[in-house]
Structure formats: structure tokens, C-alpha cells
Structure 1
């Protein structure tokens, strides 16, 4: 059994690490059980089983049950996306996106949108908060400007979500419960992928990188170009914080003025004003496991220049100074690392976080830093130079050759969309927040950090993640249980040989740059205005 108090003091955010009001002490819970669900098929199967437990009684019995979803991209309807008049182009989906989304797999017959409607008709409290940019989707003029500045991909995602919300509202039980999350910074997003399923007897929360989109059904062993992701299943007292976060956002939207959003030739109202607020709910606190959890949020500040082509937004009443809890957690754990830091992400853009990794390397000569990326996410714009800037100005700047040898970076031949970091086989974080500035300060995010009283969870999670990368069948996965042998698989100069495991051809080393990359004036403007926004600074999208 581990000394959990010592682990919490070392790796979890403590009162001395906080800078209120933006970085308060995150809510911390014991008695939890966290299950990292690696890849979409694993998550969707688990969620399907959980959804099957609610809505089975009479309407009055089901009324105490709930399904709450806060998503970034809801492509529940499938099919082509038809932009509004005045904008250009169409979104031509892959085969997996042509059919409505199903938890059973790409193009399967059991549509999730029908499942949600059925649960609502049965009396379950089903509520959907899908993100749509109020700034870009307000009218045709703004959409045209967005396309001109390379933001057409956001428009396409938003149209898919609006079409899903419109269809959900055709079910009378959902007519006032499928809303748009309009709380964001004008250049930010509600990036959470939060799902809660529960009843009076308990609740389960899910948080991570997986949206309800048809091409997210990845599974091991991955063929090239398939989606790889992680969602954390949370049980026990920490689900209360996840529930309350959804409730806070829902009631905040309820109190805002309606924003009409353009969908084809019509406007769709963001939400239903005057509806009843989502009431407080006390979930059971009975311990279900030996895991300790910090529930972590990012919410933006709102600071604006005097003129903007995109409209500003109001402060969030329950977090007027913003909340940067994800940042606090990452900074604390990276500084605490002794043996290794493993980061799997799609956007290594944060110079600040990369600089924290550099400081840790300089302080601890035995520390190893391992970064893993994948091929480009097809829903993202063309890969910009921001990752190279963060690498050279943040991580590598000033390192000696010996210190550079403490860093290895690899690219997989799959779409690495997971947002997860592991430290020392003790601490891990899973959530929606990327290793990027906007996830620290601007987008609406949620992640969970976890420690284990038995100190086995993170090692088991690492074995699962690295077995996915190494293409190891279950019978061979214990070959990398020892961290020194496992590190040696990644880098022959690290750790101890003898695992018998070698890197597959789909995992290739990334040659670290030797010269510093700087952004051009135009690149810096785009970075600050749109790509990786910092809500703490005065913002104004004034480009023509």
C-alpha cells in the first residue's frame, strides 16, 4: 500500500500551489474508482451499457434519472454538411461520417439520437449542451469572414452540432433540453466531452477526448490512420463535481439572452429562456474504490480591446476571473516528476508547459521526457508551426547535449487525439484539455487527475497505453510492466534492456530541431487571435 498522503502532497495541487481566484484549490475526492477507457470502441461500449441501466421503469421512477452531455462536436445526424448562404464550400464526410452516429460502430443501425429521444420519452432527464461558436455562426457575414480567415472547419463542426440539436428538439421531451453552450470566449470553444449518467442510487461520469462522431470508433490493433483516444470513467464521490460543473454551465446559459444561430436558411435559438433551472442534486458519497481524484476545470476570462469584428461575451458569473485548474495540476505534477513524464497529445503548442518540462529536466538528470503525437486530425486545419516554436523556445532552449538526451519524441501512424499525461507511474491526467495555451486559459475544459492508494492504477494505465503503441497482445503486455524495461523500448539508451519488445514500424522517432523557430508577424497574429488564444490578454479580432 502506498503512502497516499505523501503522494497527494507531492503530485496533487495543494493550498500553497494556488493563486486565487483564477487558480483555486481543485476539488479533491477519495473513495473513487477511475477507469481509463482506451479508444473509442471501449468507451462507447461502456457508455452503451451504462445508458441501458436508466429509463427502464415508469415515467415517475425514471424522473430521478439523468443523462447529461456537454460536447464539442456532435455529429449525431451524419451526412453532408451544407453551409449557410454567403459562405463557401461544403464538408464532404468520410464513409464513417455519412451515416448517423451509433455507439455500436460506424454506420450501425442503432442511432444514438434515437436512443436519447427514447430515454427522454421514458421520463429520464436528458440534457444536451453542444458547443457552437456564437461569434462565427451568428449570420452569413461573419461566417464568410470566418471562412476567409481559415476557420471554415469550425463552421463545419458547428453546423453538424446545430443539425443534431435541431433534430433532438423534434422530440417533445427534449424541446427545451437541447441547448447550445454560448458561454465561450469569442475565439474559444466549449471543448469538454463530459457525459453523466445516473439515478438516485448513484452516477457515473465520463471525461476525455472522445466526441460523438462517426470516425471515433478506434480499437486495438489500430490500422494506420485510425482514431486513438482516451476517456476516463469516474465513479464515486468525484462525480458530484462533474455533475455540478454541468449544472453550473446549464444554469448560466439559461440566464443569458438568446443568441440566434444560422443553420442553412433558418435561425436556431441557442436555448429556451424562462425554463426551470437545473436543480441541485446530492449524489451518494459511498466509497467505491481507492482512487483519489482532483476535478479540474478551465474557464476563460473576458478581456477585450475597444473594437472587434467578432462580438465579445460576458463574464461567467460563477467564475468571473476564469478558472485555470488544469494548468495548476499540470504545473505541479511536472515539477514533481522524478523518473519519467509521458505526454500523449495532438497539440504540443504551449511554450509555458514546454518550459516547465525543460525546468524539470535541468533539475533532475535522471528524468526522462517522452512525447507522442500522431498523424493530423482531419477536422483540424493544416498543421501550423506552433508546435515547433513550443519545442524550440520552450522545451529545448538552453539544454545541453546530455539534457537533450533526456527527451524523446515519437509519431504514430494513427490520429493521436488523446489528452493525457503520466508521471512516475503514480499520477495521471485524462480529459479534454490539450497541451496548448488555449486549454490552460481560454477554452472550456474538464480533466481529472488521479492517484491510487494501492499505487497500481497508473502503471496499469501506462501498460495499456504503451501496449497500444507497441501493438502488444494481452499475453505480452506484462513485458513492459517494469518501467525501466519499458523506457528502453522507446530509447535504447534509457532504462534496462531485456523486455523482448521492439518499436513497430508505425511508431517513428521525431528528430528534435537544433535551431530555434520564431513566428512571422502574420503567424503570430493568427496564433494570438485564433489558434491558441490567451484569455488573460486584451483580445480583438480586427484583421480585415
Structure 2
């Protein structure tokens, strides 16, 4: 698996990484804020979503405090996804010395570039600790997925050589938005081997034709021998990946897909995915819908030994249009934790029955058909 990923994507994996999976806001936000408050030299943070609520104020206050203490703080916000951020928070951070940059504000762009967003989530502290995953900075992610107001998500804290790959994802997008790529507070130090995880950091960027994120997912699916699990917030792949999921199931691999149920913030995307349910179910793919709240995690596991975690959804937007970052992790212990969380999520999910789905209402079929023209943008 490692050599397939390295040779087919062209990015070396690193050994000796420590990965700590963080489940839901109650675990994610305290870990991130503790790391920010402990920063001594540099903080680099990028996010697609920066909305409102107390957690948005907490992050702004922590970043501003470290900037006033002399830490170099850079914050990269997507021009579309973070447009709801409160102006007073931006003013407070900039007054404290935080360098705030915007990735492709819509009013300043050609129509072509407006569709290509920075969906990456990364926080890098002092060049030695990083966080990435699916979480945005907003009150929707607070709590522990106990009700519709507390979204289900997973982030990961990383120490070791893989931090460089996450830092590079930040640097790639920062370079487009700011003249200064580094300064004298960047030490460019090496990394100790602090754990047991082998990690490959894969970046996805908008492009024509095949790209690395598609290759990464393709390798995972074709390498699966026993079980392939997918949890994703937005499921709207093209026909190729639907065919690949079906082919994987037909060769005897257990293929499980966990998706949002009644609580979703993108109904059109959900309908686009549902258009493919019949083919998937006929091939033997198990489809479940998470019931308590919005399922926002982006996770894949393969055979209990490998996993993907990061910002990429299983949809055309993530694979074709947006800037993304994923960790390909080879570590049975780490993957086992993700699988245990997946099992817990299945207990709170409903399985799509093939027979009942074939008999679904005409109005549902019409809704699925209505989104076909825009599926490539979802």
C-alpha cells in the first residue's frame, strides 16, 4: 500500500508520526485552542468556514493574544466560506498584529476562479504541531453530536515529519494571497520521530483532468481486500467513482458508506448522491444515514490497516474544483480508533433498504433528476 501510494502519487510517506484522533467539538476545539495559546514563535491557520458564535470569538481572542505577545500569526480565510465572519473579530485580530489574508474573494475574481475554493483546514503551531480534518470555526461544530445543533466531525492532531506536508498545504495557498512567504521566525527545523504512524500528506488543487486526490481515493478502493468504509458529508461523485465503488463490492469487499440523514446543510448535494443509490445497492454496497445531526466527517478506512482523513468529501467539488488536503495513514492502531468511532456512528444510523428504495415516491425521483444538470458543481 505504501509503495503504491508513493509511486503513483509521487509524494514520499514519512515515518515516526504521532496522530491523535479528535472526535467532535468537545475534544477538537480545546486541543486546538490549547496549542494556539502555547505558541511561542509561529501560528499558521487556514479554514474554509469561519462563522459566528462563542467559539469564533474564542479563536479570534487567542490568535490576537499571541500576536500581541510577538508570535507571528497568519490567518488565511476562504473568500466565500468565511464571509460570515464578524467584522469586529477581523478588526480586533488585525489591530493585534494578526496577518489576515483572503483566498479568492468572489467580487475580485473572474467567473472561472469563483468556483475554485480553498476547502483546506490546517493549523500549524511552531512548525512542530499541526491539526487538520473536517472542522470549521463555528458554533455548529461545538458539543458532542448530541442534537442537530452539534455536528458530528473528526479532526486529527499531528506531530512528527508529516507536519511539513500540512504546512506546505498552508504555504501553497498563502503564496497566492500574500507577498511574504516566510520570515526570520520560521526556523525550518527537522522533526523527531515521536510516534509510530506512517503518513503521506496529499494535496488536491483545482485542475483539468485527473489529479492526485482522485488517484489517492482510487488506490484505496482498488487496494481494499476485505472492507472499505467511507464517511462523508457530501456524496456526489462522478460516474467513474460510482462504478469503482460497485466494482469493489462485486469482487467481495464489504463496502460501507455513511452519509448525512435528515440533517444536512446541502440538500441538493444529498439528492445528487441519492440518484446513484439504486446502482450502489444492487452491487451490494451498504448505505447508512446518520440520524442525530449533520454528519460532517471525511474519513475512509481500508482493511483495518490504512485510513484517509482530512478535508476531502466524496464529491465532484472536492475532487475537481477545490483546494483540499488529506492524510493517508498506515497505522493499525489509529485506523482501529476510526473504525470504533464508525461502529458507534452506525448504531445511530438507519440503513437504506434496497427494496424500499426502489419503491421510493415519484416526487423523490423528480427531485433527484432536478439536480442532475448541476451535479458537477456539488
- Shorter-chain TM-score range: 0.7 to 0.9
**1:119 corresponds to 2:98:** no
Secondary structure of 2:236's counterpart equals: coil
* 1:130 and 1:161 in contact (8 A); partners too: no
Aligned to 1:421: 300
Cross-structure match for 1:509: 351
Q: Check 1:433–1:300 CA distance in 2 against 1; reply closer, same or farther (3 A cut).
A: same
Match in the other structure for 1:361: 249
Deviation at 1:25, TM superposition (A): 1.4
Counterpart in the other structure of 1:161? 85
* 278 and 381 in structure 1: CA distance in 2 versus 1, 3 angstrom threshold: farther
Considering only aligned residues, what root-mean-square deviation do their CA atoms show, in Å?
A: 2.8
2:150 corresponds to = 226
Q: Which residue of 1 aligns with 2:120?
A: 192
Q: Is the aligned partner of 1:180 residue 2:111?
A: no
Check whether the contact 1:209–1:417 (CA below 8 A) recurs between aligned residues.
yes
C-alpha spacing 1:117/1:386, structure 2 compared with 1 (3 Å): same
Deviations along 1:103-144, one digit per CA (max 9) or x if unpaired, are xxxxxxx722111111001111110110014xxxxxxxxxxx
Structure 1 position 371 matched with structure 2 position 257:
yes
- Counterpart contact for 2:16–2:161, Cα < 8 Å: yes
| Offset, 1:26 | 2.7
SS in 1 for 2:301: strand
Pair 1:67 & 2:67 matched: no
Give 1:52 deviation, angstroms.
Answer: 2.8
Superposition deviation, residue 359 in structure 1: 1.4
Alpha-carbon spacing, 1:329–1:168, altered in 2? closer, same or farther (3 Å):
farther
Which position in structure 1 is the counterpart of 2:336? 459
Partner secondary structure for residue 240 of structure 1: helix
Secondary structure (helix, strand or coil) at the match of 1:74 reads coil
Looking at structure 1, the residues matched to 94 and 159 of structure 2 have their Cα atoms a distance apart, in angstroms, of 33
Q: How far did 1:165 drift?
A: 6.7
Query: Does residue 237 of structure 2 align to residue 350 of structure 1?
Result: yes
| Structure 1: runs of 5+ lacking an equivalent | 1-6, 18-23, 55-61, 79-98, 103-109, 134-156, 255-274, 303-320, 471-502, 533-544
Counterpart mapping for 1:467-506 below 5 A? 467=344, 469=345, 503=347, 506=348
Partner of 2:266: 380
Aligned residues: 362
Indicate yes or no: 2:55 matched with 1:101: yes
What is aligned with 1:83? none
Structure 1 position 205 matched with structure 2 position 123? no
Q: TM-score, normalised by structure 2?
A: 0.86
Distance (whole Å) between structure 2 residues aligned to residue 358 and residue 520 of structure 1: 20
> What's the counterpart of residue 109 of structure 2?
none
What's the CA shift for 1:226?
Answer: 2.9
Report which of the two has the higher share of helix: 2
Summarize the Cα distance change of 1:214–1:391 in structure 2 as closer, same or farther, 3 Å threshold.
same
Match of 1:526 in 2: 374
Q: Secondary structure in 2 aligned to 1:371?
A: strand
Closer, same or farther: CA 13–236 of 1 in aligned 2, 3 Å? same
Q: Larger Cα Rg: Structure 1 or Structure 2?
A: 1
Q: Cα distance, 1:234 vs. partner?
A: 1.4
Other-structure match for 1:292: 198
Q: Normalized against structure 1, the TM-score is what? A: 0.61
Question: What is the match of residue 311 of structure 1?
Answer: none
Q: Does the Cα contact within 8 Å between 2:37 and 2:66 map onto a contact in 1? A: no
Residue 384 of structure 1: how far off its partner (Å): 5.0
Q: Is the 8 A contact 2:289 2:350 kept in 1?
A: yes
CA–CA distance in 2 between the matches of 1:353 and 1:216? 29
| Alpha carbons 1:34, 1:232 under 8 Å: kept | yes
Partner SS, residue 293 of structure 1: strand
- Cα gap change, 1:100/1:416 in structure 2, threshold over 3 Å: closer, same or farther? same
Q: Could you tell me how far apart the structure 1 residues matched to 2:50 and 2:336 are?
A: 33
1:518 CA drift (Å):
9.2
For each residue in 1:41-97, what CA deviation from the matched residue of structure 2 results, as whole angstroms up to 9, or x when unmatched? 11112112222322xxxxxxx4xx11111111112xx3xxxxxxxxxxxxxxxxxxx
Question: Of 300, 305, 314, which residue of structure 2 is paired with 1:435?
Answer: 314
